[in-house]
Amino acid sequence: MSCSRRNFLKTALSGSIAASLPLSMFKFLSPAQVQAATKTESDTRWGFLVDTTKCVGCGFCVKACKKENEVPYDAPITRTWVERYVVTKDGKTHIDSPKGGRDGFVARHEDVDPNVEITKAFFVPKLCNQCENPACVQVCPVGATFQTSDGVVLIDRSWCIGCGYCVMACPYGVRFFHPELKVAEKCTFCYHRITKGMKTACVQACPFGARQVGNLKDPDDPVTKTIMTERVAVLKDEYGTKPQVFYIGLDTNVR
């Protein structure tokens, strides 16, 4: 077999080039993967921790939220609310949230017979879960709602057409229609506050420390530490939305 110098060099060169090609060159990447690889990821992921064992149902959080975020005060809408659960000895669970708990719980539950013994009762604050996979964002037909790189779901008020699709899509019922602005409305984790190093209005207003907000990407953040080390639960895990509001002391009656 004859092998000219020219042929030998040609084969050797193409062979070494082929050998140096990484296999990953031939991998087909999805656009999302390319974007994830090329974009610098945020070092912040806002999350929330609710300790239901500390909540006494004063409703200062709801009041502060409504005033801070200019939610019409007397309209039956709110970005955050507190639910009361009263479980009686006859096995019934009574749930209420008068005015979303805005004025606190200043009377006994109307449906609870005063002669029946209460076995347990507790308050559960609720707010937007700022899901990792927000269903509300997926359904928006115009791109008016979106997830920021630090994990908060926001609404572009100038772009929302008020179709209400997102209100229907949210499994947690946290979205509503703003009666004055005629757009969809929801909890923003007080984005204007947390991005300036402040706590959300509800967290600041809570006298008992039942609400906490923190950066889940910071391992030294007290919220992250608690979520990592203590037993926490999320609401409606089965929906696959990956909610980022974690609860301590969640009861099976809470939906």
Footprint of other proteins (CB under 8 A): 31-32, 35-36, 53-60, 63-64, 67-69, 86, 103-108, 118-123, 133-134, 137-138, 143-149, 154, 156-159, 188, 191-193, 195-196, 198, 201, 204-205, 207-209
User: What distances in angstroms separate CA 122 from CA 55, 57, 163, 186, 241, one per listed residue?
Assistant: 8, 8, 36, 25, 26
* Nearer to other proteins (CB atom), residue 64 or residue 167: 64
Nearer Cβ to other proteins (184/201):
201
Pick between residue 12 and residue 198 the one whose CB is nearest to other proteins: 198
Cβ at position 179, least distance to other proteins in Å: 19
* CA–CA distances in Å: residue 202 to residues 60, 68, 69, 214: 7, 9, 11, 13
For the bound state, the minimum distance from the C-beta of residue 114 to other proteins, rounded and expressed in Å, comes to 9
Q: Kind and range of the H or E element at 64? A: helix 60-68
Measured from the CB of residue 161, what is the shortest distance to other proteins in angstroms?
Answer: 13
Q: Which residue has the tokens 């921790």?
A: 49
- Of 8 and 73, nearer to other proteins (C-beta) is 73
Smallest distance, Å, CB 54 to other proteins? 6
Cβ proximity to other proteins, 104 vs 233, nearer residue = 104
Work out how close the CB of 57 gets to other proteins at its nearest, in angstroms, rounded to a whole number. Answer: 6
Q: How far from chain centre, in Å, is Cα 175?
A: 12
State how far the Cα of 111 lies from the Cα of 94, in Å rounded to an integer. Answer: 7
Q: What is the DSSP letter of 96?
A: E
Instruction: Provide the β-strand partners of residue 176.
Output: 185
